[in-house]
Amino acid sequence: MDTLVTNGTLLTMRGERLGIVDSGAVGVDDGRIRYVGPESDAPDPSDADDVVDAEGGVVMPGLVNAHAHMAHTLLRGGAQDVPEIEWMNRALGPLSAHADEEDRIAGTRLGVLEAVRGGATTICEYAGEVGTLVEAVYQPLGVDVVAVETINEVPDERGDLGPRELYPFDREQGEEALARADRLFERFGDDPLVTPAYGPQALDMVSPELLGTVQEHAHDRGAKLHLHTAQGEREAIQIEERYGADESTVSVLDELGIVDDSLVAVHCHGATPAERRRLADGGAAMLGCPSSIAAIDGIVPPVAEFREYGAAVGIGTDQAPGPGHHSMVREARTAATLSKVEHTDPTALTAPEALRLATVGGAEALGIDDEVGTLEEGTRADFLVVDTDRLSTAPAVDSPLHTAIPNLVYSTTGREVRDVFVAGEAIVRDGAFVDADPEAAVADATERARALYERASVDWRAADSELVAAVDDGWL
């Protein structure tokens, strides 16, 4: 046996609860879990090449960051505190338009390292030319990635368009992106840590014809179709102008036959309760990004509501400009707290439910729960050891209740994650990266960000978002 983890409290996520095992052990061989259960029945430690003593800690599945745009981490702090209608075209856009490939790689590396240090072992990366990020960042780090190629027909130069001016569509641009998505399946078909998927960006950014074609390709490959769905006022205005005042994103998707079990609907805060139920009843999964949508839209995404409809639901950190972080324990806390506020109910989305969203829920939504999201014999050995005897998480007792469970959600910062394993390989041990160099990643990202902001400064000021006024008034 390669690795045996002993002396920990296991949260296996098996069944419909957390699958708690006191004084448990996890055995790993050839990248897969071979034993999960009481330490008293575990293999002999002398038969393991490496023994990890999890005393004072929780052993649980790796966290699943189910939706992220990591390249934008380079622009963390550059597009916060503006009206939703400004955020994409007037705040983020003038900056991201000046990012080159190396900038995108540097931002992705910074974001992925932050996420992994906080316990994420699977990240759903949603990006144009996503294969480049997989090869430059994810594969060298040995991190699971669901690689979603962004597909849209809208030219980048749209900052001068008014809210009700329709985005122009460039079909050739969309077809090229679809071809890149198709190639992912051949390019990474032999890598078990890479799961390709299709990413039509949003209904306001692709034509019905292209969206139907993308769905056909997804069906043919048994792949998921990730679509930003009903994600705010800007999109709602575009749908109204293009399809009619009585139409919405969900009504059009339904009419086009897009709502099925291949659809992964992201955000959904602009949909009505009836529309959300229609998505769930049609088999769609839902991904929520509470920190991002709260920061950008001032709205709570309906993760708790979708759970009630029986849909597969996961959570993600989206992009750093806006929420500011890629910590999945922080995201679980935000999801739980905001759901309580949204429903005016302190029992809404409990800590155990939030932990499931951050693990097996995300895996189910992404269609990879046969491999990750639980601690079960035969699944990939993606797991964490989280210390519960820190200042932030102590005291942890197991009788009459396990206080570590709410503490994981409401008290952790992410720094309590001690060990991170992906496919049985240690990525983080005793709080430090085994191979990666986070200091170098920070230095590279900072140097590139300074140069990018300098290049973009004229366009940024010309876009005249509220951030410009904040600078002129001495706030930033």
CA proximity to 331, closest of 67, 144, 105, 146: 67
pLDDT at 7 over 70: yes
Q: Is 179 inside a domain boundary?
A: yes
- Please give the average per-residue pLDDT across 370-389, as a whole number: 97
Q: What is the pLDDT of residue 159?
A: 54
Question: How confident is the model at residue 160, as a pLDDT?
Answer: 60
Q: Write the CB contacts of 248 (distance below 8 Å, at least 6 apart in sequence).
A: 230, 236, 239, 270, 271, 272, 275
Let me know if residue 13 belongs to a domain.
Answer: no
175 domain residue, yes or no: yes
Could you tell me if residue 249 is left (phi over 0), alpha (psi between -120 and 50 degrees) or otherwise beta? Answer: alpha
| pLDDT at residue number 296 | 92
In a domain, 207, yes or no: yes
**pLDDT at site 46:** 83
- Supply the pLDDT for residue 377: 96
Question: Do the domain assignments include residue 384?
Answer: no
Evaluate if residue 119 carries a pLDDT over 80.
yes
Instruction: Say whether pLDDT at 158 is over 80.
Output: no
Average pLDDT of the segment spanning 395-415: 93
Helical pair 249-256 and 273-281, crossing angle rounded to 10 deg:
30
Q: What is the pLDDT of residue 161?
A: 65
* Alpha carbon distance 92, 94 (integer Å): 6
pLDDT bucket at 413, cuts 50 / 70 / 90: confident
166 touches 242 (CB < 8 A):
yes
Mean pLDDT confidence for 216-225 = 98
Long-range contacts of 88-92 (CB under 8 A, 24+ apart): 88/234, 89/158, 89/159, 89/161, 89/234, 89/463, 90/159, 90/463, 90/464, 90/465, 91/321, 91/463, 91/465, 91/467, 92/321
Q: In this predicted structure, what is the pLDDT of residue 274? A: 95
What is residue 157's predicted lDDT score, i.e. its pLDDT? 64
Q: Average model confidence (pLDDT) for the chain?
A: 95
Specify the pLDDT at position 163: 67
The pLDDT value given to residue 219: 98
| Residue 182, number of CB atoms within 10 A of its CB | 18
On whether the CB atoms of residues 311 and 59 are closer than 8 A, the answer is no
Amino acid 323: pLDDT? 86
Domains: count for the chain: 1
pLDDT at 96 over 90: yes
Instruction: Please give the share of the chain, as a percent, with pLDDT higher than 70.
Output: 99
- Three-state secondary structure readout of 184-241: HHHHCCCCCCEEEEEEECEHHHCCHHHHHHHHHHHHHHCCCEEEEECCCHHHHHHHHH
Higher pLDDT residue, 463 or 165? Answer: 463
- If you average pLDDT over residues 139-148, what whole number do you get? 98
CATH number at residue 340: 3.20.20.140
Percent pLDDT > 90 in the chain is 90
pTM for the complete prediction? Answer: 0.96
Tell me, yes or no, whether 46 lies in a domain. no
What's the confidence (pLDDT) of residue 301? Answer: 92
Domain span including residue 327: 63-366
- Work out the angle at residue 302's Cα, subtended by the Cα atoms of residues 296 and 305, and round it to the nearest 5 degrees: 170
119 lies in some domain: yes
| 32-44: average pLDDT | 94
Q: Is 461 a domain residue?
A: no
